[in-house]
């Protein structure tokens, strides 16, 4: 089997149906592709729809009675998969006609590739009364339909048809999601190109609604972490492990799949809990890149600076003599995380003493780096962290003023 399309689904029956319609409409001519849908504890008769659906590709379904997170749902699909390539695709997506063919063709360029398709296209395929205020406003703006207060359209009212999916005309109703992290990733693409060559954080493009990766690489790093139960970050978690395992990441903007808007499945509590889980899991100097990306908002910095600092850290890790300073850097990040996301009375005396004991080493070593023009981005971030967390000003002592 060449490829397995893994689709976890939770209470998304009508959107999943359009997803499968689009997969039936693929231009890929091979008979070596399968679809695995994992019903992750749905209460909307998803399995009834799947039993009646006539799929062009072999369709296998799994039913999990309890939703214990999307990571567990995907893992169940991975374990059942027979394809050499795993194509991760969410239940809410509508794939373009060349979606399967292009994912498969991309892997002909190497057995270590992670192929990230375009994931920021959105469409209103159904109307939901539980849309957020922002979604309602966007719906009105894009459709030109002013919603009457107290009298919205019928819940789950179709806004596009099956015919729109089959002839591709649905695409004219699509729009780009404009969240800050999407805007930022578009800037990364402009700077580094599709190959992401020279970019130190390519796993930020590992968004599991539209990507593909060799199955043996996923199995080799232990699949998705089922300890991530709340919404989000399970994709970053797998992505960074694949990156550290030597996989190459490419951004394939020509592989398009469109996300169908629906009421949010997450809350701010999900973000806090998962950031905490990820940072505690990767509480090691070899994962300072993950720590910084997760804490970007708390650090009040931009992603390109984090990318440059990550590049410096990668070089510093090669010499164990630098590890003590990197451990101080990690401890400072821990202080910022705890103070930002949870009630926090400040670092313990032991932590403060440990950092203070290392100040002479930090001054001596970082001054040498600055004079040699080495690791200046890392040194600048370290200087700022010391100032933010402990009000220690090292700039004049090390000759760094940027």
Note the pLDDT tens digit of each residue in 112-137.
Answer: 999 999 999 999 999 999 899 889 98
Average pLDDT for residues 335-352, to the nearest whole number?
Answer: 86
Catalogue the E-assigned strands of 146-201.
Answer: 157-158, 175-176
User: In the prediction, which pLDDT does 182 show?
Assistant: 94
d(CA 210, CA 364): 47
For 37-85, write each residue's pLDDT tens digit: 999 999 999 999 999 999 999 999 999 999 998 999 999 999 999 999 9
Average pLDDT for residues 83-93, to the nearest whole number?
Answer: 97
Residues 263 and 276 sit within 8 Å (Cβ to Cβ)? no
Average pLDDT for residues 79-99, to the nearest whole number?
Answer: 97
Beta-ladder partners of 117: 252
Residue 343 has pLDDT above 80, yes or no: no
d(CA 330, CA 276): 14
d(CA 289, CA 195): 20
Residue 215, both tokens:
């199955």
Residue 170, both tokens:
């649905």
* Stronger pLDDT, 347 or 282, i.e. the higher one: 282
User: In the prediction, which pLDDT does 341 show?
Assistant: 77
Over pLDDT 70: what percentage of the chain?
98
User: In the prediction, which pLDDT does 11 show?
Assistant: 95
Domain boundaries, the chain: 3-124+160-269, 126-157, 284-398
Over pLDDT 90: what percentage of the chain?
79
> pTM of the full predicted structure?
0.93
Residue 105 neighbours by CB under 8 Å, 6+ apart: none
* pLDDT band for position 398 (cuts 50, 70, 90): low
Residue 371 has pLDDT above 60, yes or no: yes
Average pLDDT for residues 124-153, to the nearest whole number?
Answer: 84
* pLDDT band for position 179 (cuts 50, 70, 90): confident
Least confident of 46-60, 140-154, 214-228, 337-351: 140-154
d(CA 216, CA 221): 9
Eight-state DSSP code of residue 361:
H
Residue 266 has pLDDT above 80, yes or no: no
User: In the prediction, which pLDDT does 141 show?
Assistant: 87
Residue 321 has pLDDT above 60, yes or no: yes
Residue 193 has pLDDT above 80, yes or no: yes
Residue 377 has pLDDT above 80, yes or no: yes
d(CA 186, CA 194): 11
Average pLDDT for residues 200-218, to the nearest whole number?
Answer: 97
Residue 76, both tokens:
């169940």
* pLDDT band for position 229 (cuts 50, 70, 90): confident
Residue 35 neighbours by CB under 8 Å, 6+ apart: 4, 5, 7, 20, 23, 55, 57, 58, 59, 60
Eight-state DSSP code of residue 148:
B
Residue 397 has pLDDT above 80, yes or no: no
Beta-ladder partners of 148: 151
Least confident of 2-6, 149-153, 359-363, 371-375: 149-153
Average pLDDT for residues 314-334, to the nearest whole number?
Answer: 97
Show the CA angle centred on residue 270, arms to residues 264 and 274, nearest 5°: 135
Residue 50 neighbours by CB under 8 Å, 6+ apart: 16, 37, 39, 59, 61
Architecture of domain 3-124+160-269: Alpha-Beta Complex (3.90)
CA nearest 264: which of 79, 66, 122? 122
């Amino acid at each position: 089997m060449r490829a397995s399309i893994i689709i976890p689904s939770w209470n998304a029956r009508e959107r999943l149906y359009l997803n499968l319609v689009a997969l039936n409409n693929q231009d890929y001519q091979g008979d070596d592709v399968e679809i695995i849908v994992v019903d992750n504890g749905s209460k909307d008769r998803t399995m009834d729809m799947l039993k009646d659906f006539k799929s062009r590709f072999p369709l296998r379904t799994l039913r999990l009675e309890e939703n214990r997170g999307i990571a567990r749902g995907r893992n169940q699909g991975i374990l059942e998969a027979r394809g050499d390539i795993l194509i991760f695709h969410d239940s809410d997506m509508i794939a373009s006609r060349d979606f399967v063919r292009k994912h498969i063709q991309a892997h002909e360029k190497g057995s270590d590739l992670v192929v990230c398709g375009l994931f920021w296209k959105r469409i209103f395929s159904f109307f939901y009364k539980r849309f957020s205020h922002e979604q309602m406003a966007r719906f009105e703006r894009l459709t030109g339909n002013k919603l009457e207060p107290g009298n919205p359209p019928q819940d789950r009212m179709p806004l596009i048809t099956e015919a729109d999916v089959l002839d591709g005309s649905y695409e004219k109703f699509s729009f780009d999601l404009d969240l800050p992290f999407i805007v930022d990733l578009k800037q990364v693409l402009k700077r580094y190109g599709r190959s992401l060559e020279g970019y130190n954080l390519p796993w930020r493009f590992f968004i599991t609604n539209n990507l593909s990766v060799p199955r043996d690489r996923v199995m080799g790093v232990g699949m998705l972490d089922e300890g991530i139960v709340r919404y989000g970050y399970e994709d970053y978690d797998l992505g960074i492990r694949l990156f550290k395992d030597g996989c190459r990441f490419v951004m394939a903007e020509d592989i398009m799949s469109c996300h169908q808007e629906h009421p949010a499945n997450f809350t701010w509590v999900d973000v806090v809990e998962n950031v905490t889980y990820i940072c505690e899991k990767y509480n090691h100097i070899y994962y300072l890149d993950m720590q910084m990306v997760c804490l970007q908002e708390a650090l009040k910095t931009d992603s390109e600076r984090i990318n440059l600092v990550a590049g410096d850290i990668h070089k510093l890790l090669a010499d164990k003599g630098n590890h003590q300073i990197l451990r101080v850097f990690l401890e400072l990040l821990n202080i910022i995380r705890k103070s930002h996301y949870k009630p926090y009375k400040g670092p313990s005396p032991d932590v403060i003493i440990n950092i203070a004991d290392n100040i002479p080493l930090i001054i001596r070593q970082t001054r040498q780096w600055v004079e040699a023009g080495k690791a200046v981005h890392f040194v600048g971030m370290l200087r700022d962290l010391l100032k933010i967390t402990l009000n220690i000003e090292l700039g004049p002592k090390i000759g760094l003023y940027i």
